[in-house]
Chain A
């Protein structure tokens, strides 16, 4: 519990009046509060850089890099540490396209993944986007104790996607799973079933299908509004386009072509 400061009470028991911080930016506010904490004698923890300090954030140490599972570049800007946190829970809204995109990227880089309890997930997209199917295992029917299956797999894989009923796990039920997760290597992505205070929680809503018209073109990309909430980095959101690399040129906004006189 390092860094947990206990607020000191001044003699008569009245709490210290805090200065008005509302006019300051987030970084300045954190600095002011930290300096106050240090004068109060509390150990100031080394916080990770805040959202505004994105330039410094790029220089993540190697150790930190190993603590994440890399995700496609479109998503990595939104996630703390540029990926899914290992040994922690990521809560993901039920958006199979995102999962397939993650699986393709992770397995293409040699990672191992498991998908538990997701019967209607189509893996054809994983191969289509360059993923490696040999590194994926699917357990559509995980038996009576699906959480135990997830816990075992978390010990040795890179990513475990768990899809369960729409319930919130009580802390008692989640504890064995989280204990195994902390000792393993995997990033656990939970879809449907919720745990209290996940390390990262990702919401994705489809906003547009790109490339298709009334009887023309075809679906070349899916545009999503992604919102990532993490304990350390607050809320980040942005637009993400899921498409195949070979379609990237077609999805560029059309430039007006200029005609040139040919002699």
Chain B
């Protein structure tokens, strides 16, 4: 479980102006302006009626002594650097979200200093400067911590309490903090639809938000549901790991390109292994002789190996050369690759759990995948299957199989409500199938009358005995029937019912068995055996 602390310096550009001055006067009204409008204003200015978005002349009319400073992103970042440096002395992982807002890995700091409280105090002390305001928020996720820092002058959200904290937060906070990355237009649209708090947004089904608002909506929804799982990344200080290759003649052929790709990948990995990091995000850039540059970013779930890097570069070059119609048999056309770069954009220290310095004696994911792929190559892709949950009421229909390695959408929503669903523990052995002749059974009552399900979905009488092929059982218990009127709106919709039956064999072993029976087309059949 991660803990993240966000430190928020409200109206940072104004505070940066104060820090930049030799003798700052903190109660002097200051505002930052861009394009003749007030971008940010300090507390003193706000008290006198200045607001963000006002025209500068309007603001000066409201508050004649207002000092208007031009916006300067450089100054904001430069002044902030000093604060980040002092935070870096206290905590190991400090990530700047924007000048004026940092996220710190509070879990690591808490482990080092003994407790979260001490760590938080140390961090706030490190960030303090004379006349500078800072608010802290602590939570499990970065986004929640940022919102917590802005709520009531800083809040500590308890572990796993992010959802209940976010429930009461106003929706406007998503647009107010640019570092959260929500589009103001989407937030406004949500507010127009009558949503006031993040809790109301979180209650919406994720599909509904995704289909109506796309990625921007999903982003807001994920924040409201506290589903943002990115961790605070420690900065990699030495980032000069890019490698390049300029061939003497433009590369026209795919095989030549793949040779270069392998060479570049090997050089990159030598550099990376010297730095003790692995690459997770790789940018491949190529210059063509026509003068244009193309680039592509590759991200993988696990660190890229040398082989994987070489493969990706080769695929990419292959794709580019093919798409541009470059052919080696036409020497007059010189639209080949003239330069090639590999730029590792995101490097992290190798994770101890994956890869593994020590053999833990258990299987690891990549080894498991290797052996499964070996079996797949000998038996065929379709012979190695993976069970995938599907929605449904019975036993068999709740699972469908896809070939290993393929991703398919769930055919029915497994999380949906399925009234009449058979409760667990579920039987583990499937019958021969509903249409299999061997799965047919007969049940009778004490009078010898056959048991059936009435139109009111009740049993016609109390079951007494069951026969399945040559075997005879005395029924000791039954539950149900659970009726289902499946697809009643369609022509091929059917009605059926399920029944749990426990019986003891009328043989010398007197063995106990239980079945899940299905009543369909006026017959009882075994759907599955417990």
User: What is A's interface to B at a CB cutoff of 8 Å?
Assistant: 66-67, 86, 96-97, 99-100, 111-112, 114, 120-129, 133-134, 136-143, 149, 152-153, 155-158, 185-186, 206-209, 212-222, 242-244, 247
Residues of B that sit less than 8 Å from A by CB: 360-365, 367-368, 370-372, 374-375, 378-379, 383-389, 395-396, 398-399, 401, 404, 414, 423-432, 459, 462, 476-480, 500, 502, 512-514, 528, 530
A169 to chain B, nearest CB (A): 20
Closest Cβ of chain B to A84, distance in Å, is 12
A137 CA to B477 CA, complexed, in Å = 35
Measured between beta carbons, the chain B residues less than 8 angstroms from A215 are 459, 462, 478-479
With A122-B428, A149-B379, A219-B514 in contact, do A133 and B479 touch (Cβ < 8 Å)?
Answer: no
A-B contact pairs, 9 of them (CB 8 A): A133-B389, A137-B404, A139-B375, A149-B379, A153-B375, A157-B363, A185-B362, A207-B512, A217-B479
B479 touches A153 (CB 8 A): no
In the bound assembly, the distance between CA atoms of A232 and B431 in angstroms comes to 38
Separation in Å of the B377 CB from the closest CB of chain A?
10
A125 and B500: CB pair below 8 A? no
Q: Are B512 and A206 within 8 A (Cβ)? A: yes
A242 pairs with B386, CB closer than 8 A:
no
Are A126 and B387 touching (Cβ within 8 A)?
A: yes
Contact indicator A123/B477 (Cβ below 8 Å): no
Chain A residues whose CB sits within 8 angstroms of the CB of B423 once the complex forms? 218
Whether B427 contacts A125 by the Cβ 8 Å rule is yes
* Cα of A126 to Cα of B374 in the assembled complex, Å: 25
Contact check: which of B368, B379, B414, B512 meets A157 at CB < 8 Å? B368
Q: Which residue of A lies closest to B368 (CB)?
A: A112
- B387 proximity list for chain A (CB < 8 A): 123, 126, 133, 136, 138
A222 touches B363 (CB 8 A): no
Contact B386 A138 (CB under 8 A): yes
Once the chains bind, are B362 and A127 in contact (CB under 8 Å)? no
Closest Cβ neighbor of B396 among chain A residues: A122
- Given known A-B contacts A152-B375, A218-B423, A139 and B365 have beta carbons under 8 A apart: no
Residues of A contacting B414 in the complex (Cβ-Cβ under 8 angstroms): 127
Nearest Cβ on chain B to A139's Cβ, whole angstroms: 6
| A139-B383 CB under 8 A given contacts A122-B396, A122-B430, A219-B502 | yes
Shortest beta-carbon distance from A71 to chain B in Å: 14
Q: Which residues of B contact A244 (CB under 8 A)?
A: 424-425
Q: Are B425 and A221 in contact (CB-based, < 8 A)?
A: yes
Instruction: Determine whether the beta carbon of A127 is less than 8 Å from that of B371.
Output: no
A222 to B528, CA, bound (A): 15
Q: Is the CB of B478 within 8 A of A214?
A: yes
Other contacts beyond A157-B363, A212-B514: 10, CB < 8 A:
A66-B361, A124-B426, A125-B425, A137-B404, A138-B401, A139-B375, A149-B378, A219-B530, A222-B514, A247-B425
Instruction: Give Cα A139 to B387, complex, Å.
Output: 10
Please state if B425 and A220 are interface contacts (CB–CB under 8 Å): yes
Q: Is the CB of A209 within 8 A of B385?
A: no
Which residue of chain A has the shortest Cβ distance to B390 in the bound complex? A124
Asked if B425 and A242 sit within 8 Å, CB to CB, the answer is yes
- B-chain residues with CB within 8 Å of residue A219 when the two chains form the complex: 425, 479, 500, 502, 514, 530
How far, in whole Å, are A220 and B372 apart by their CA atoms in the complex? 36
| Known contacts A139-B379, A143-B379: A185-B427 contact under CB 8 Å | no
In the bound complex, residues from chain B placing their C-beta under 8 Å from that of A120 are: 429-432
Residue of B368, B399, B423, B429 most packed against chain A (CB within 10 A):
B368
Q: Are A121 and B429 in contact (CB-based, < 8 A)?
A: yes
Q: Which residue of the partner chain, among A127, A140, A152, contacts B374 with CB atoms under 8 Å?
A: A152
Enumerate chain B residues within 8 angstroms of A141, measured Cβ to Cβ: 383
* Least CB separation from B398: chain A residue: A124
A217: chain B residues at CB < 8 Å are: 477, 479
- On whether the beta carbons of B401 and A209 are closer than 8 Å, the reply is no
Given A143-B383, A155-B371, decide whether A122 and B427 contact each other with a Cβ distance below 8 A.
yes
| CB nearest to A223 among chain B residues | B512
* Cβ contacts under 8 Å, B367 to chain A: 155-156, 185
**Measured between alpha carbons, how far is A186 from B478 in the docked complex, in Å?**
40
B375, B425, B479: residue with the most chain A Cβ atoms closer than 10 Å: B425
- A97 contacts which of B365, B368, B404, B428 (Cβ < 8 Å)? B428
Q: Are A125 and B379 in touch, CB under 8 angstroms? A: no
A123, A125, A155: residue with the most chain B Cβ atoms closer than 10 Å: A123
Q: A134: which B residues are within 8 A, CB to CB?
A: 386
Query: Taking CB as reference atom, which chain B residue is nearest A208?
Result: B512
Point out which of A126, A218, A243 has the most chain B C-beta atoms below 10 A from its C-beta.
Answer: A218
Q: When the two chains form their complex, are residues A96 and B425 in contact, meaning their CB atoms are under 8 A apart?
A: no
A222/B530 in contact, CB under 8 A: yes
Q: Which residue of A lies closest to B514 (CB)?
A: A209
Q: Which of B375, B404, B431, B514 has most A Cβ within 10 Å?
A: B375
Looking at A137, A138, A153, the one whose CB has the most chain B CB atoms below 10 A away is: A137
Q: Are B500 and A212 in contact (CB under 8 A)?
A: yes
In the docked arrangement, what's the CA distance between A86 and B362, Å? 9
Contact pick for B430, options A121, A139, A218, CB 8 Å: A121
B404 to chain A, nearest CB (A): 5
Nearest CB on A from B392, distance (A): 8
- Shortest Cβ-Cβ A-B pairs, 7 listed: A96-B428, A156-B371, A66-B361, A124-B398, A125-B426, A123-B387, A156-B367
**B385 CB, min distance to chain A CBs, angstroms:** 5
Chain A hits for B513, CB < 8 A: 206
The interface centre, meaning the residue of B389, B431, B462 with most chain A CB atoms within 10 A of its CB, is B389
- How far does the alpha carbon of A134 sit from the alpha carbon of B462 in the complex, in Å? 42
CA separation between A149 and B384, bound complex, in Å? Answer: 11
Given the interface contacts A123-B399, A137-B404, does A158 sit within 8 Å of B528 by beta carbon? no
CB of A88 to closest CB in B, whole Å:
13
A216 CA to B480 CA, complexed, in Å: 8
- The answer for the CA separation of A255 and B387 in the assembled complex, in Å, is 41
The answer to whether B424 and A125 have CB atoms under 8 Å apart is: yes
Residues of A within 8 A of B426 (CB): 100, 122, 124-125, 128
User: A residues within 8 A CB of B424?
Assistant: 125, 128-129, 244, 247
**Docked pose: A182 CA to B502 CA in angstroms:** 42
Distance between Cα atoms of A153 and B371 in the complex (Å): 6
Say yes or no: A214 contacts B399, CB within 8 Å: no
Q: Is the CB of A125 within 8 A of B383?
A: no
Q: For the complex, what is the distance from the CA of A66 to the CA of B359, rounded to whole Å?
A: 10
Chain B residues contacting A186 (CB-CB under 8 Å) are: 363
Contact residue among A99, A149, A243 (Cβ-Cβ distance under 8 Å from B428): A99
B residues within 8 A CB of A157?
363, 368, 371-372
